[in-house]
Chains A and B, each alone.
Chain A
C-alpha cells in the first residue's frame, strides 16, 4: 500500500495568503490556537507511527469490515438509491447557492418559536457564547450529545477553562473522554479501541464500577447506562450539535442511537445547540431525502433508533430555554471555492472513512483533525487554509471508493486533486519533487534520453536483489519518494526492447 506524501518540507504560506488565484476573496479561515482542525505532525509522519500499531490496525480492520458489509446490504435494498443520492447532492448544492437566505429564514422561524439565535464568526466566538450562556444558568456542568461542531471548536476545553465540566454522554465519546484520548472517527470516535481496551478504561475510571465487569459489549453498555443515569436526571444544561435544521419551519434534527441524545434534548431546562451554517436545509420535505440517506450510509441501518426533531420551545415538553449558535469558522472560505465548496455538502455519515484503504490502515488520529478520512482530507485543509494542513490532500491513493459510497455524491477525489494543485501553485520556490518531475518530463519527451534513462534504471535491479520493490532506505533525495511509496523494481527488459525484439522479423 502506497500512501502518497507531500514533499517533506513544504514551504509554508504566509497566513492569509491567497487560497488560489481565482477564488481568493479574503474570507477568513478557522483561527489557529483554538479547536481541533490541525495536527501537530504531517500526515505521513503521524501515519508512520500508526502503521506500526498492530492492535490499532486489527481493531480498525475488524470494525470497518463489519460496517461496510452492513451498509452495502441496506443500500442494495433501496432500488432508487442512486436517484436519492443525486437528489441529496442537488438539494445541498441548491441550499448552498442561497445559504444566506435560508439562514435568515431559519433565524426567523426559531425566534418565532421561542428560541434565541446567536451567530459566531469562528471557534473562539462560539466558545465564548456557549460559555456565557452556561454561566448565566448558574450551572457548573453540562451534559453533551456527541457533536462534531463542538469537537471542532474545542468547546470542552473552553468550558473547562471556565470551570464548567462537560460530560460526554455518547458511549464512544465517553470512552474517549474517560481514556483521555481523542476521537478517531466521525461516527464512532472510539473505533480504534476494542472491547477489552474499553473494559480496561471503564474499570480504571468509572467510580464504583462492578469489579467483575467483563468485556462483553452489553455489559459495557450497561456500565455506561448506570454511570450516566444520575447525571441525566440532574442535568440543568445540555449542549448538542444538529444534523439538520429546516429553514421554513425552524425545526432542528438530531439523529442518534442510544437515547443519550434524547436525554440531553428533553430533560434539562436549557438546551444550547451549536451548528455549522451548512447544516440548514430549506424545506421540511427535504428531510425525507436525507433521513433515508443518512442512517443507511452511517450505521448501516434502515433507520437509526432515535431521531429527535424540535422547533424552538414547547411548553410542558422539554427545555424551556433554547439557544441556537450558528457557526462559520472557515465555512464561508470553503464556500468561496467553486470546486471545494462541495465538501460543505457532507452529512457526516462516515461511509467514506469506512471504505478508505488509507483510513483503514492509518486510522483517524493520523489526520490530526476531528474530521479524518477522505472527507477530512478535503474539509480540514479548506477550513484552515491549505497551508495549515498541507499534507492532507495527499493522504489518498485517489481510488475513488469514497465518491462511490458518499450519500450526497461528493466528488472527493476531484477536490483532493484541486487542493493539491492549489498547494503546489502556492509554493514560492520549487520543491525537490517539482524539479524531479520537470526533469522527468524533459527525458520522457526525448526518445534518445528516454532509452538511456531506461537503461540506467536497470541498475535498480542490483539494489532490489530480486525483490519486487526497491528498498525504502534509498539515499536522499530518492528517499523522499520511497519513504511512503513502493518503487517497483525495473523490469529486466523494457516494453520497447521486447516490442523491438518480437517484431524484428
Chain B
C-alpha cells in the first residue's frame, strides 16, 4: 500500500463511522469606522511598528516618495539607487529610477531602496499586503533592498484581516508586511531590522 493510502486509511480508522458534526460559530465583524478614522488607525498602527508614515493628498504622492527616500537614505541619494515595481504609475517614480526588469532576483540586492504599491492594507493590524502583481512587484523586490517605500491609496485600506482576505487572490504569491523586519529572539524583546528591509516608509495618500 502506498504511504498516501495508508495515511488516509489511518485517518478513516481513527475517526470511525460516526464523525462529529461541528457548528462553527460566526465571528463578529470589525468595528465600524468612518473612512477618515480608518486611515488614522492604519497610520497609528503602522507607526507602532516603528515604520515611517507620510500622509498626503493623492496628487502629492511623488513629493512624499522623494521625502521618504530622503529620510531613509539621506539626502544625496541617486535615482539609480531605487528600483521600482513595473506597475507603479510613472508619476510616483523618482525620475531616472530603473524598473524591475526581471533580472535574476539576487541582483536586486544591489539596490538601496525599492518603491512599490500594495494590493490592500489592514488598518487594525497596520499591515500592507503585496500580491506579486506589477504594482506590488515580485516577492524578492520588496525583500532584498534595505529600504522599502510603499504607496497606499485610501480606497485600498480595509478594517481587518478577514476584509483583506476577501480582496486577495488566494493563489497569488502574497506577502503581508507589518513594519520592518524584526526579531524577538533575544530575551523576547523586539529589535527592528534583521534579514528583510530594516526601514519601511509608507506613503498614505488620501
Most chain A CB within 10 A, of B22, B28, B162, B194, is at B194
Residues 159 to 198 of chain A near chain B (Cβ within 8 Å): 169-172, 175, 188, 190-191, 194-195, 198
Interface: B2 (CB within 8 A): yes
CB neighbours (8 Å) of A335 from chain B are 11, 14-15
Interface: A436 (CB within 8 A): no
Interface: A284 (CB within 8 A): yes
CB neighbours (8 Å) of B8 from chain A are 100, 103-104
CB neighbours (8 Å) of A288 from chain B are 27, 161-162, 165
How far does the alpha carbon of A333 sit from the alpha carbon of B14 in the complex, in Å? Answer: 7
How far does the alpha carbon of A289 sit from the alpha carbon of B181 in the complex, in Å? Answer: 24
CB neighbours (8 Å) of A304 from chain B are 178
B3→A125 contact, CB < 8 A: yes
How far does the alpha carbon of A225 sit from the alpha carbon of B8 in the complex, in Å? Answer: 42
Min distance, Cβ B132 to any Cβ of chain A, angstroms: 5
**Among the listed A217, A251, A310, which residue makes an inter-chain contact with B187, where contact means beta carbons less than 8 Å apart?**
A217
CB neighbours (8 Å) of B14 from chain A are 25, 27, 332-333, 335-336, 341
CB neighbours (8 Å) of B154 from chain A are none
Interface: A97 (CB within 8 A): yes
**Among the listed B19, B125, B138, B172, which residue makes an inter-chain contact with A302, where contact means beta carbons less than 8 Å apart?**
B125
CB neighbours (8 Å) of B184 from chain A are 67, 188, 257, 299
Interface: B139 (CB within 8 A): yes
How far does the alpha carbon of A26 sit from the alpha carbon of B13 in the complex, in Å? Answer: 9
B161→A292 contact, CB < 8 A: yes
Interface: A34 (CB within 8 A): no
Interface: B47 (CB within 8 A): no
What is the 8 Å Cβ interface bit string for chain A, positions 61-97, against chain B (1 contact, 0 not)? 0111011001000000001100110110011011011
CB neighbours (8 Å) of B191 from chain A are 217-218, 221
Residues 14 to 60 of chain A near chain B (Cβ within 8 Å): 25-28, 59
Name B107's closest neighbour in chain A (CB-CB): A233
Interface: B99 (CB within 8 A): no
How far does the alpha carbon of A372 sit from the alpha carbon of B174 in the complex, in Å? Answer: 32
A259→B11 contact, CB < 8 A: no
Min distance, Cβ B100 to any Cβ of chain A, angstroms: 11
Instruction: Please judge, given known A-B contacts A66-B187, A311-B170, whether A228 and B11 are in contact too, CB under 8 Å.
Output: no
Min distance, Cβ B172 to any Cβ of chain A, angstroms: 7
**Among the listed B15, B172, B176, which residue makes an inter-chain contact with A303, where contact means beta carbons less than 8 Å apart?**
B176
Min distance, Cβ B49 to any Cβ of chain A, angstroms: 7
Min distance, Cβ A279 to any Cβ of chain B, angstroms: 14
| Chain B count of residues within 8 A CB distance of the other chain | 72
B23→A90 contact, CB < 8 A: yes
Interface: A116 (CB within 8 A): no
Residues 278 to 315 of chain A near chain B (Cβ within 8 Å): 284-285, 287-289, 291-292, 295, 299, 301-312, 314
| Chain A count of residues within 8 A CB distance of the other chain | 102
How far does the alpha carbon of A295 sit from the alpha carbon of B24 in the complex, in Å? Answer: 22
CB neighbours (8 Å) of A218 from chain B are 191, 193
How far does the alpha carbon of A288 sit from the alpha carbon of B26 in the complex, in Å? Answer: 12
A308→B174 contact, CB < 8 A: yes
B12→A301 contact, CB < 8 A: no
With A67-B188, A188-B188 given, name 8 new contacts (CB 8 A): A97-B19, A97-B21, A103-B7, A259-B195, A318-B139, A318-B173, A328-B10, A336-B14
**Can you name 25 A-B residue pairings with CB atoms under 8 Å?**
A28-B10, A86-B25, A90-B23, A91-B24, A97-B20, A98-B19, A99-B11, A103-B7, A104-B8, A171-B185, A217-B186, A221-B183, A251-B171, A257-B184, A259-B181, A262-B143, A262-B196, A267-B140, A284-B165, A284-B170, A291-B176, A302-B126, A309-B173, A318-B140, A332-B14
- Interface of A with B (CB < 8 Å)? 25-28, 59, 62-64, 66-67, 70, 79-80, 83-84, 86-87, 90-91, 93-94, 96-100, 103-104, 113, 118-121, 125, 169-172, 175, 188, 190-191, 194-195, 198, 217-218, 220-222, 224-225, 228-229, 232-233, 246, 249-251, 257-260, 262-263, 265-267, 277, 284-285, 287-289, 291-292, 295, 299, 301-312, 314, 316-318, 326, 328, 332-333, 335-336, 341
Sort A-B residue pairs by CB-CB distance and give the 7 closest, nearest first: A259-B196, A288-B162, A332-B10, A259-B195, A249-B170, A336-B14, A258-B194
